[in-house]
Amino acid sequence: MTINTVAILGAGAVGGYFIWGLSEKLGERLWVIAEGERRERLLRDGIEINGRKYALNVRTPEEAAGVDLLLVATKYGSLEESLPMIEKIVGEHTVVMSLLNGVDSEEVIGERIGKEHLIYSVMKIASERKGDQVVFDGPSTSGVFFGEVEEGTSTERLEAIAEVFEGTALSFHVVSDILTQIWYKFALNVSRNQPQAIIGCGVGAYEDSEHVAYISEKLREEVVAVAAAKGIDISKPTDGAGSSSPSAKRARYSTLQDLDAERPTEVGMFAGAVMKMGKELGISVPYNEMTYHLIKALEEKNEGKFDY
């Protein structure tokens, strides 16, 4: 198997990492998927990443049909509305990697296009939107972890993807335990992304406040319990996708960035998903339940539902 063309659906913080890493190697064989007004804007303005403007080869889903590798990098809240586009893009031999946070995007996409197209993956990147540009520190970014759910690390598809990424600035890791890595990253997001969003503080609070650290640990314990019920052990420390990266104490993760910008958050993908799975499995998750409602209340406040 050879991958000649790569398409990116979602030119945001994560999609920007792959535009940054693959543009020089792939050139016109790297496509960004968009339609309507967004397509016109991306064609006109391109995207600015780490202070550099990138012109984009923008294609509609119909124009990108049959691409060799599709990288799905939308926001979780946009996944459902993106499914018709994904369906149009995926051809018989297209391989799809979902770079979304959470633990169910592969399931959602697979139900629409068939799980045989999927390579499971998880991203680890500290990126943010500053005005109209995407900003991240490339050399310190852990990048993408990916693998086959059942077949280990030496399949033809994995080798083809690795060959595309090799020789670029992208950091990538082919792993044999991808489901475990996805759950480690999920636990990290649930326990580190959400508390700081509620309190409105930088990540340094996890070290400097025993109370913030306590909330974080209780949220993580609930994810560990849910994962165990699904046969996945994430109780031990890891140096993979679920390990914390060095960050400035003032660093603000995506949920707090969304609240700061008065955007909807992805709390449904974090605490909301833990609540749903806890209910299905008969596991009590009170810390995630409270966190979910607190963040939804902050969203309502941003929307002007109450201001008194």
* DSSP per residue, 120-180: EEEEE---EEETTEEE--GGG--EEEEE-SSSTT--HHHHHHHHHHTTSS--EEE-S-HHH
Q: Could you read off the pLDDT of 56-98 as tens digits, one per residue?
A: 999 999 999 999 999 999 988 899 999 999 999 999 999 999 9
Determine which of 109-118, 146-155, 255-264 has the lowest per-residue pLDDT on average. 146-155
Q: What is the Cβ-side half-sphere exposure of residue 103, based on CA atoms within 13 angstroms?
A: 26
pLDDT at residue 244 is higher than 70: no
Going by pLDDT thresholds of 50, 70 and 90, the confidence category of residue 245 is low
The answer to whether the CB of 35 falls within 8 A of the CB of 85 is yes
Top-confidence residue, 248 or 19: 19
pLDDT at residue 242 is higher than 80: no
Mean pLDDT of 161-189: 96
Three-class secondary structure of residue 55 per DSSP: coil
What is the Cα 290 distance to its own chain's centre? 23
Mean pLDDT of 191-199: 96
Determine which of 149-153, 167-171, 174-178 has the lowest per-residue pLDDT on average. 149-153
In this structure, what token pair is assigned to residue 206?
A: 């996890």
* Partner residues linked to 122 by β-bridges: 145
Dihedrals phi, psi of 120, to nearest 5 degrees: -75, 140
Mean pLDDT of 177-196: 95
By the 10 Å C-beta count (0-12 exposed, 13-18 middle, 19+ buried), 255 is classed as buried
d(CA 283, CA 281): 6
C-alpha pair distances (Å), 91 with each of 11, 69, 114, 144: 21, 10, 11, 23
pLDDT at residue 246 is higher than 60: no
User: Alpha helices of 35-104 — where are they, by DSSP H?
Assistant: 36-45, 79-89
In this structure, what token pair is assigned to residue 253?
A: 């993760």
Going by pLDDT thresholds of 50, 70 and 90, the confidence category of residue 243 is low
In this structure, what token pair is assigned to residue 169?
A: 């600035």
- Between strands 118-124 and 143-147, the pairing is antiparallel
In this structure, what token pair is assigned to residue 285?
A: 């998750």
Top-confidence residue, 239 or 33: 33
Three-class secondary structure of residue 32 per DSSP: strand
Determine which of 150-159, 161-170, 281-290 has the lowest per-residue pLDDT on average. 150-159
Three-class secondary structure of residue 63 per DSSP: coil
Q: Could you read off the pLDDT of 204-231 as tens digits, one per residue?
A: 999 999 999 999 999 999 999 999 999 9
pLDDT at residue 150 is higher than 90: no
Dihedrals phi, psi of 222, to nearest 5 degrees: -70, -40
The answer to whether the CB of 215 falls within 8 A of the CB of 186 is no
Mean pLDDT of 225-246: 80
The pLDDT value given to residue 33: 98
d(CA 256, CA 294): 13
Amino acid identity, position 244 = S
Dihedrals phi, psi of 92, to nearest 5 degrees: -60, -35
Q: Could you read off the pLDDT of 39-62 as tens digits, one per residue?
A: 999 999 999 999 999 999 999 999
Query: Per DSSP, which regions of 176-251 are E strands?
Result: none
